Amino acid sequence: MDFPKLDKVRRSAAPLQLDVVDAYVAGRLSRREFIQRGAIVGLSMGSIGMVIAACGGTTTSPSASGAAATSGASSGASSAPSAAGSPVSGGIIRIAGQRPVKVDPVTMEDLGGYGITSQSFEFLCTATNKDLVSIGPGLALEWAPNADGTVWTFKLRQGVKWHDGTAFTADDVVATMERLVTAGNSGLKGVLGPGGAVATDANTVTFTLLGANGNFPYLVSVFNAQSLITPKAYVAGTTFDKVPAGTGAWKLKTYNQQTGATFERNPDWWGGTTPLDGLEFIFFDATGPMVTAYQGQQVDAIIQFDVLSGKSLLDDANFNLISAPAALHRQIWMRTDTGAFADKKVRQALALTFDRPALIQTLFQGKAQLGNDNPIWEGYPYYDSTVPQRTRDIPKAKALLAEANASSLTATLHAGQLLEIPDLATLLKSQAAEAGITLNVAVESLNTFYGAQWCPKQVKPEDPPCFGAAELGIVDYGHRGTPDVYLNAALKSKGIWNSSQYGSTAFDTAFSDFQKAVGVDAQKAACNKMETILLDDTPIGLPYFYNYLAGSSKAFSGLYASGLGQMFFSAVSKTA
């Protein structure tokens, strides 16, 4: 241990940053977790490297975004160039992306919109090429909290220009935050109030939060997709194609929602000259044709695809596969307040029938990780791996059913027509049958499923959200950099997506502790509580977290993604 080096970092660190450093030094955080967590609390990359070196590690690892991507198919980045030849300047890359529904940066809600707008607009904190959780400097160069995590100060990058040549300032950030707060942005709601963001000087913004929040930088990062910084004069409701004035590496040339979009290099980008001249997005409504288009050499990269549609790409030697572990998952909700699943023994019994490894192999060809019936993914720095993993146990399931007088349980399992979900429902049916549970699978169109089974409209105002939900069903959840949304909406009492109608004071308290926690140990402790409570109560089954799949032709290198519809091309180059 190199104490002088360590002390140098300690002396300049804020209390919250010090907490993270101490957790790493004491071995409570892995190196990966330390880099992720350190970036969140605003430790500079130099400080992170110094701490790692002081503790005997290598100092080469931490790199921010914007630079060339690292290699490795397990991160959100494509592999290093493997085709013959060296990177060359010029050319364009053709990208297959989801067709955007709306490209209003403030109110957009679809992955297609996220992918397009993030080419021109930028975040205060952006994705890195390391994994799908870490964040790094974007328009903010550095950030730091006060001692209790209620005030966060962001130092902005200087010399940044909007595409029209005007200078980017703190006023733009303040105006953006006001627009987001007014629009009720789901990430900032309850965290930042009107007037909470103040420009201390032209390059500094101070956020005074409504309460302590250790994850605040995530809420102004790529993982809160609407938090793209727009100009001060930007009018809420304006779509990107009408006013395409960002600060990012790419300037919008053409946009047609029906066909695609083209971008050209921004010669004044703060990150320097991009190797490519431009981007061409081609919009698709389904992943199958994206894969075909790649095979027919009409696109060079795919922003996201699923195993079922893109099986052929998984073993394609010419395809640079990005297969990154992510928090993408399915929740099998069980009504805890009424019906056959009101008894937790029945819920536990059903969860005990899941053959998780078999599901992962059959549905994802192994490209997924085990779930333990709670949404705290192992990639989060505060995930607690000491909570025992639930495994298949048919005799125990039968015993629990007998205790609950439900040995001949019959229920309808509702599912939406989306990706692997109908297949998952069929597999769960056959697995549950071994414990004597009869599941009748009902697959419906997504619109019908969401509106009629998952979270029907409230009939009486006094009813909690999703009160009319079906007894049992499977619902999809996308990737998030933190689990707050899953916990707050799906599991907290009266959460807006709480289809299982789960209500637990113990869980609510643990979640509240997690939100307030600004130190690693406190967050881990709160997560341990939540994981344990959810494993016992089992309001949801969560058999797996599946990988984010994307990639490009090996003729390109350097691209990376966030797992939330955004892919970054500023460091992408073509191979000669």
| Number of neighbours of residue 30 by Cβ within 10 angstroms | 12
Separation CA 322–CA 303 (nearest Å): 10
Per-residue binding string, other proteins, 150-189, x by CB under 8 A, is: ----------------------------------x-x---
Separation CA 230–CA 174 (nearest Å): 10
Residues 95-114 that bind other proteins (CB under 8 A): 101-102, 109
Q: Could you give the 3-state DSSP secondary structure of residue 357?
A: helix
| Number of neighbours of residue 89 by Cβ within 10 angstroms | 12
284 contributes a contact to other proteins by CB under 8 A: yes
278 contributes a contact to other proteins by CB under 8 A: no
Instruction: Tell me the window of 30-38, 41-49, 190-198, 441-449 that interacts with other proteins (CB under 8 A).
Output: 441-449
Instruction: Tell me the window of 161-169, 388-396, 453-461, 556-564 that interacts with other proteins (CB under 8 A).
Output: 453-461
Per 3-state DSSP, the chain is made up of helix, strand and coil in percentages (nearest 5) of 30, 20, 50
Nearer CB in complex with other proteins: 276/427: 276
Nearer CB in complex with other proteins: 141/442: 442
Shortest CB 450 distance to other proteins, Å: 4
454 contributes a contact to other proteins by CB under 8 A: yes
Per-residue binding string, other proteins, 508-547, x by CB under 8 A, is: ----------------------------------------
358 contributes a contact to other proteins by CB under 8 A: no
Instruction: Tell me the window of 8-16, 81-89, 357-365, 440-448 that interacts with other proteins (CB under 8 A).
Output: 440-448
Shortest CB 411 distance to other proteins, Å: 22
Separation CA 480–CA 476 (nearest Å): 13
254 contributes a contact to other proteins by CB under 8 A: yes
Instruction: Tell me the window of 195-203, 249-257, 326-334, 339-347 that interacts with other proteins (CB under 8 A).
Output: 249-257
- Name every residue whose Cβ is closer than 8 Å to that of residue 389 and which is 6 or more positions away in sequence: 370, 372
Number of amino acids touching other proteins (CB under 8 A): 39
| Number of neighbours of residue 171 by Cβ within 10 angstroms | 14
Please tell me what DSSP assigns to residue 224: S
- To 10 degrees, the CA torsion angle through 320, 97, 379, 362? -70
Q: Which amino acid is at 137?
A: P
Separation CA 462–CA 31 (nearest Å): 48
Please tell me what DSSP assigns to residue 491: I
260 contributes a contact to other proteins by CB under 8 A: yes
296 contributes a contact to other proteins by CB under 8 A: yes
447 contributes a contact to other proteins by CB under 8 A: yes
Question: Which residue is listed with tokens 């032209």?
Answer: 202
- Contact status, residue 209 vs residue 153, Cβ threshold 8 Å: no
Instruction: Tell me the window of 199-207, 212-220, 405-413, 444-452 that interacts with other proteins (CB under 8 A).
Output: 444-452
Burial 289-317 (b: 16+ CB within 10 A, else e): bbbebbeeeebbbbbbbbbebbeebbebe
Residue 319 CA: distances (Å) to CA of 92, 187, 313, 423: 17, 35, 7, 27
Nearer CB in complex with other proteins: 61/493: 493
292 contributes a contact to other proteins by CB under 8 A: yes
DSSP string, 116-176: HHHHHSB-SEEE-SS-SS-EEESSEEEEEE-TTSSEEEEEEPSS-B-TTSPBP-HHHHHHH
Q: Given candidates 167, 202, 433, 496, which one binds other proteins under the rule CB under 8 A?
A: 496
Residue 345 CA: distances (Å) to CA of 350, 397, 413, 503: 9, 8, 18, 16
Q: Given candidates 286, 358, 433, 576, which one binds other proteins under the rule CB under 8 A?
A: 286
244 contributes a contact to other proteins by CB under 8 A: no
257 contributes a contact to other proteins by CB under 8 A: yes
| Number of neighbours of residue 251 by Cβ within 10 angstroms | 21
Instruction: Tell me the window of 282-290, 319-327, 358-366, 505-513 that interacts with other proteins (CB under 8 A).
Output: 282-290
311 contributes a contact to other proteins by CB under 8 A: no
Per-residue binding string, other proteins, 111-150, x by CB under 8 A, is: ----------------------------------------
Q: Given candidates 80, 394, 442, 489, which one binds other proteins under the rule CB under 8 A?
A: 489
Nearer CB in complex with other proteins: 356/479: 479
Separation CA 397–CA 279 (nearest Å): 54
Separation CA 34–CA 31 (nearest Å): 5
Instruction: Tell me the window of 148-156, 291-299, 363-371, 508-516 that interacts with other proteins (CB under 8 A).
Output: 291-299
Q: Given candidates 234, 319, 377, 497, which one binds other proteins under the rule CB under 8 A?
A: 497
Shortest CB 432 distance to other proteins, Å: 26
Q: Which two tokens stand for residue 287?
A: 């992943």
258 contributes a contact to other proteins by CB under 8 A: yes
Listed residue (220, 226, 484) closest to 377, CA to CA? 484
Separation CA 405–CA 221 (nearest Å): 50
Separation CA 100–CA 97 (nearest Å): 8
Instruction: Tell me the window of 155-163, 295-303, 355-363, 528-536 that interacts with other proteins (CB under 8 A).
Output: 295-303
Shortest CB 445 distance to other proteins, Å: 8
Q: Given candidates 262, 500, 501, 515, which one binds other proteins under the rule CB under 8 A?
A: 262
> CA-based Rg of the chain, rounded to a whole angstrom?
24
Shortest CB 336 distance to other proteins, Å: 20
Q: Given candidates 389, 430, 448, 512, which one binds other proteins under the rule CB under 8 A?
A: 448
> Would you say how long the chain is, in residues?
576
259 contributes a contact to other proteins by CB under 8 A: yes
**Would you call 86 exposed, middle or buried from its count of C-beta atoms within 10 A (0-12, 13-18, 19+)?**
exposed
Q: Given candidates 451, 464, 468, 503, which one binds other proteins under the rule CB under 8 A?
A: 451
243 contributes a contact to other proteins by CB under 8 A: no
Binding residues (CB under 8 A) for other proteins: these are: 101-102, 109, 184, 186, 239, 254, 256-260, 262, 280, 282-286, 289, 292-293, 295-298, 445, 447-448, 450-452, 454-455, 457-458, 489, 496-497
